[in-house]
Structure 1
Amino acid sequence: MSVPDDSEATVAVPLLAPVDGVPPVLDTAAEVAAAARALAAGSGPLAVDAERASGFRYSPRAYLIQLRRAGAGTFLIDPVPIDRDLEPLAAAVNDLEWVLHSADQDLPGLAELGLRPARLFDTELGGRLAGFERVGLAAMVERLLGRELRKGHGAADWSTRPLPAEWLNYAALDVELLLELRDAVALELDTQGKTEWAAQEFEHVRSLEPAAPKADRWRRTSGIHALRRTRQLAIVRELWTTRDKLARLRDVAPARILPDSAIIAAAENDPKTIAQLRTLPVFGGPRQRRYSREWLGAVERARTLPDNALPPLTQPFDGPPPVNRWERRDPAAAARLQAARAAMTDLSGEVSVPVENLLTPDLLRRMCWDGLPRAVTNGNGPAMIDEYLAAGGARPWQRELAVPRLAEALFPVEKAEPGQSS
């Protein structure tokens, strides 16, 4: 399957500002209602982007929404002051096909505002399915449209008000070429015979329900691997939980309330007084001192927990153990995984789709660990694999490609010995 070479030399033309200029930021219900009428009168898909304040705010909410549609132009909407007064906008755009780049990043925050697409085209995901090695927005615009987008403010604090003019220019440019990019990606997918694959993937992303919060998120505290006692882990858990509550209440990113390194230092030193606590790195700073009683209270709760309430040193596995332990615990499962991975790698090369987009690595591991019986008879291996993958959320196009390869790798047909009837 032919895929254009990412290294093809092109001279990209810089796109420094929107052709029609940077539109004003709309921040009243009346302005948004007028924008909704204009968008409803436009034609074709709707280009959508949203700017969040990851790393600055606790909430994943959108702090700026960018919309563009043929015949209507570009609109920049500040949803913060109008919040729930977006019903006219939702009525105008929710029945349209939306075009986003990395849609899974923005759809949850937009859904909180009542904005949900009826259909979706994800240019980043489309690029992956087309076999592009570089799928960032700027890279794909340069490759397919010959234009240069200069990135630089995506990681900014978009909760800032007023928003600087250069940020607004950047935001408007993010949707300036998105509709053209959609058409170019769609053409590439059609040329490669992957249009239906992409349609199934886009619908999967569009219809995903918000993931439930993972249990024991505190175990992801950076540096926790250095702790060797359960009482220390209890301190981490209590401090992490206290920090999370404060962060949610203030809508501030947890790391800005208290960095992970400070939590680990407290677990290692087990301070008994506020004075001892404030001698530790960070805890003596002006922002953290105001919460000294809360931090010390968390440490004291952990210190007084009964032994049977302490967290275990290792997190119980939800699924297969780490792969590096398979060979010792279940050599047959390790062999299955090795064979399955090799088969999927070969398939990935043949169809020019990243192996993780053919099947999620977690689903493949789970199937090889405990999703298949040790022996399969009557040639029902492919059906069993297909059933397992379907239950795990694999789309039809993925199963159509993967099942025959996995069946061949996991349940090879035994060849008859010479002179033996087959």
Structure 2
Amino acid sequence: MTANTSQSDQAGAPDRAGTQTGDRPEPAEDAAVDLLEPAEGVPPLVEDAAALSDVAARLADGSGPVAVDAERASGYRYSARAYLVQLRREGAGSFLVDPIACGGDLSVLGDALRGVEWVLHAASQDLACLAEVGMRPDSLFDTELAGRLVGYPRVGLGPLTEHLLGVRLQKGHGAADWSRRPLPDDWLTYAALDVELLIELRDAVAADLERQEKTAWAEQEFEAVRLAPPPPPRAEPWRRTSGMHKVRRPAQLAVVRELWESRDELAAVRDVAPGRLLPDAAIVDAALREPAGREELVAMPVFRGRAQRRLGDRWWSAIARARALDRTQWPAAAAQPDGPPPAHRWSDKDPAAAARLAAARAALAGLSERTGTPVENLVTPDLVRRLCWSPPEPADTEAVAAALADLGARPWQAELAAPLLAEALTARPAPEQTPGDQPS
């Protein structure tokens, strides 16, 4: 996996039984064992059809869940394809598979694992690239997501393994360029270790889910992740250019858009991360400085580099196209909102909605404290904002539960949150004080 997402360190929260998630004995720091090599050694890299078929047969003959991981080249490549797939199953062993050398088709592995539970860490990061090579699970267990539901202070693979199993994993290659060939030996060791203890970790997390009566929650969450469709394309992805807040004039926004789209087109063709062709800061700088011509552009910082000078004609053409646009073709100063306005503006735009949101947040914070599950995993913040901005009529528990389901909440979330949110939707803004009402 290319990255581990984790929550900030915090004290363990109380679980549904009223105990602390931190009550599980945590291995002392000096008691953790460093795991530097897989117990059975680093498996050879699978790079041809014959070896791939052998792996499929051995996995099919194994027992229990299968640990699965994938390595991408985020930050180096435009695509999000898998450049290495790791698997481990009891009775079969561990395997490192090169999808590129195998022609980009690992469907024989997917077929061999039909009906088997797949164990991944932060599954939403890897499912798309696994599906691209023909691997789709019928059943899923996500140790990172399960850890969030339990309420562990940190849910990265390394911290969880150390906390629950007393083992420290090797670090250092998660953000590497996995498209590199040949893959260095120490990278392969790192990759094999990512699945070495994943089944044992799954069992430890599952035990805590059961202890906290959250197994059903987790099952619904896993299925939602497994069946989630690809996210829809963003309407104006260029607006996510870092530093965009500095660009205010529509004519300058047009320059950002044209440069971003020209860069994105070239990045896709070359399969290179866009920021490696032209940093976001350079796009914003070109929009703000408004160079008079190509030579002035390539004299600017970043653009004066040798690689950028070779692309100077491309970047200048993008700027020229933006400047040739009629003002009716300029981008709007701000993106059209998809949903409610930013919450910090609610007090001015709709005080009643602001009061509802404040009450909802307070109620969910209390629920989080009681269950030991982070608020964002109980009900996503965007869903809460949409509900509070446009509540159902009538806003009773049944209607709120139906609205939550329509917005994508799972049944367990609606069951827990609907009564609290229905009550929160009755909140009203405090009456404004007149000068005579001020305390002396």
How far apart, in 2, do the equivalents of 1:200 and 1:227 lie?
43
TM-score for the superposition, normalised by structure 2: 0.90
Secondary structure class of the residue paired with 1:327 = helix
How far apart, in 2, do the equivalents of 1:87 and 1:61 lie?
15
Q: Deviations over 1:156-180 (max 9, x none)?
A: 0000101111110000000000000
Is the counterpart of residue 410 in structure 1 residue 421 in structure 2?
A: no
- Which residue of the partner structure matches residue 409 of structure 2? 394
- Which residue of the partner structure matches residue 383 of structure 1? 398
- Which residue of the partner structure matches residue 358 of structure 1? 378
Among 201, 211, 217, the residue aligned to 1:181:
201
How far apart, in 1, do the equivalents of 2:105 and 2:224 lie?
29
Amino acid at match of 1:277: L
Is the counterpart of residue 123 in structure 1 residue 133 in structure 2?
A: no
- Which residue of the partner structure matches residue 3 of structure 1? 20
Pairing of 1:259-278 with structure 2 (within 5 A): 259-278=279-298
Q: Deviations over 1:160-205 (max 9, x none)?
A: 1011111100000000000001111111100111110000000000
Aligned length: 408
Q: CA deviation at 1:9?
A: 4.6
Higher relative contact order (CA 8 A, sep 6+): 2
Amino acid at match of 1:174: D
Q: CA deviation at 1:319?
A: 0.7
Unaligned runs of 5+ in 1: 413-422
Q: Decide which moves more: 403-412 or 382-391.
A: 403-412
- Which residue of the partner structure matches residue 68 of structure 2? 48
Is the counterpart of residue 240 in structure 1 residue 238 in structure 2?
A: no
Q: Decide which moves more: 219-228 or 294-303.
A: 219-228
Pairing of 1:53-202 with structure 2 (within 5 A): 53-202=73-222
How far apart, in 1, do the equivalents of 2:205 and 2:386 lie?
33
Secondary structure class of the residue paired with 2:140 = strand
Kept in 2, the 8 Å contact 1:18–1:169? The answer is yes
Identity in percent: 57
Pairing of 1:215-230 with structure 2 (within 5 A): 215-230=235-250
Among 333, 350, 368, the residue aligned to 1:313:
333
Pairing of 1:309-348 with structure 2 (within 5 A): 309-348=329-368
Secondary structure class of the residue paired with 1:371 = coil
Amino acid at match of 2:410: R
TM-score for the superposition, normalised by structure 1: 0.94
- Which residue of the partner structure matches residue 203 of structure 1? 223
Amino acid at match of 1:92: A
Q: Deviations over 1:310-340 (max 9, x none)?
A: 0011111111111111000000000000000
Amino acid at match of 2:195: V
Q: Deviations over 1:49-90 (max 9, x none)?
A: 001100000011110000000000000000012234423222
Kept in 2, the 8 Å contact 1:381–1:411? The answer is no
- Which residue of the partner structure matches residue 234 of structure 2? 214
Kept in 1, the 8 Å contact 2:78–2:274? The answer is yes
Aligned-residue CA RMSD (Å):
1.4
Amino acid at match of 2:425: L
Amino acid at match of 1:383: E
Secondary structure class of the residue paired with 1:5 = helix
Kept in 1, the 8 Å contact 2:27–2:162? The answer is no
Q: Deviations over 1:218-239 (max 9, x none)?
A: 1111111111210000000000
